Amino acid sequence: MSAPLGQAWRLLNQGEDQLGADFYYRTFAFAGPKTQVHTTLIHHLGNQQASKAILYVHGYTDYFFQAGLAQHFVDQGYRFYAVDLQGYGRSIRPSTPPNWCDSVEQYSQDLDIALATMKQDGVEQVVILAHSTGGLVVSTYLAHPYALPERESHYQMPFPEVIGLMLNSPFLALPFPPAVLNRISWPIRILVSALPFSYLRAKKITTYATTLHCRFGGEWDYRLDWKPAEGFNLSFHWLREIILAQRNLAQQSLSIPTLFCHSKISTIGKDSVVETQQGDGVLDVDSMKQAAEKSFTNLTEVVIDKGFHDLYLSHETAREEYLQAMDNWLAQLTTTK
């Protein structure tokens, strides 16, 4: 683990976030595997006296831009925070490739910084909401063998209690049907281990991206330099570390109350926008479901018909169904906490 707080990270800058006057950002610097890296914590200014908060963790080729999602939880009485992990969005720097990681475990310090800062703000209990690769990052973090009291002792400061986890289409398995995944997992691992410094070049705009961004007829406007329509170059080293993290998570048994939301079907490889919009155009739902059921022992599953890969970015009917599912689950969770 890292050094105590005073030596572990430092606040670089802070101020009004690009999302507008309702949002505030804080960027922290800390030592990464090879060089100094940055992480950025964004929070909505509503409900500053509330003791419970949502912490949102984005996916791959992603960052936090969903202001309406934050407002939704603020309207429900929560404080809302989001983190742009090192190498993503507001935390991208020229010194390291975007989205690069030596291992999935290195994002633990981003989460430590976020949670410790939330505690300093007066937050006592946290529910983490994680999308796609963020779901793997957070699950890996929560499955880590060191416990909350040890983190508090190590950093010489208190942390809030993480009382629940909400997963939005988590990247817990490679995007292949279970039968295919069983046959190709080892060959893929051998390939990416043999070519750790190779990349798949990002050249073509993905059909999924055209379902989202207003430039292509979608309803969302976000920064295409931070969430490019063709994606970033895919590192084989990154893929190897994702596969390793998925394999390690499959051997864990997490008892934290968990809401698992996903689309009804997968639409990977569909040629048209309309076909892609009928389901998850990025991951395989069946493999995702199988992996979640294996690792989480206190799991509530909700299927969102015609939900996109990022369920919040779905068309309004599916989006509202997704938000209602989270509200219902949170209501049940908070009655027991």
Residue 91: pLDDT above 70? yes
Residue 3: pLDDT above 50? no
- Phi and psi at residue 80, in whole multiples of 5°? -130, 130
Cβ–Cβ < 8 Å for 63, 38: no
* Structure confidence by residue, pLDDT tens digits, 49-64: 999 999 999 999 999 9
* Structure confidence by residue, pLDDT tens digits, 200-246: 777 788 899 999 999 999 999 999 999 999 999 888 888 889 988 99
Give the global pTM: 0.94
Instruction: Assign 2 a pLDDT band (cuts: 50, 70, 90).
Output: very low
Distance CA 108, CA 104 (A): 8
pLDDT at site 146 = 66
* Structure confidence by residue, pLDDT tens digits, 18-27: 999 999 999 9
Q: Where are the domains of the chain?
A: 5-335
* Structure confidence by residue, pLDDT tens digits, 292-334: 999 999 999 999 999 999 999 999 999 999 999 999 999 999 8
226 to 133, 210, 231: CA distances (angstroms): 16, 16, 9
User: Which CATH code is given to the segment(s) 5-335?
Assistant: 3.40.50.1820
Closest by CA to 28, choosing from 93, 101, 99, is 93
Distance CA 75, CA 96 (A): 38
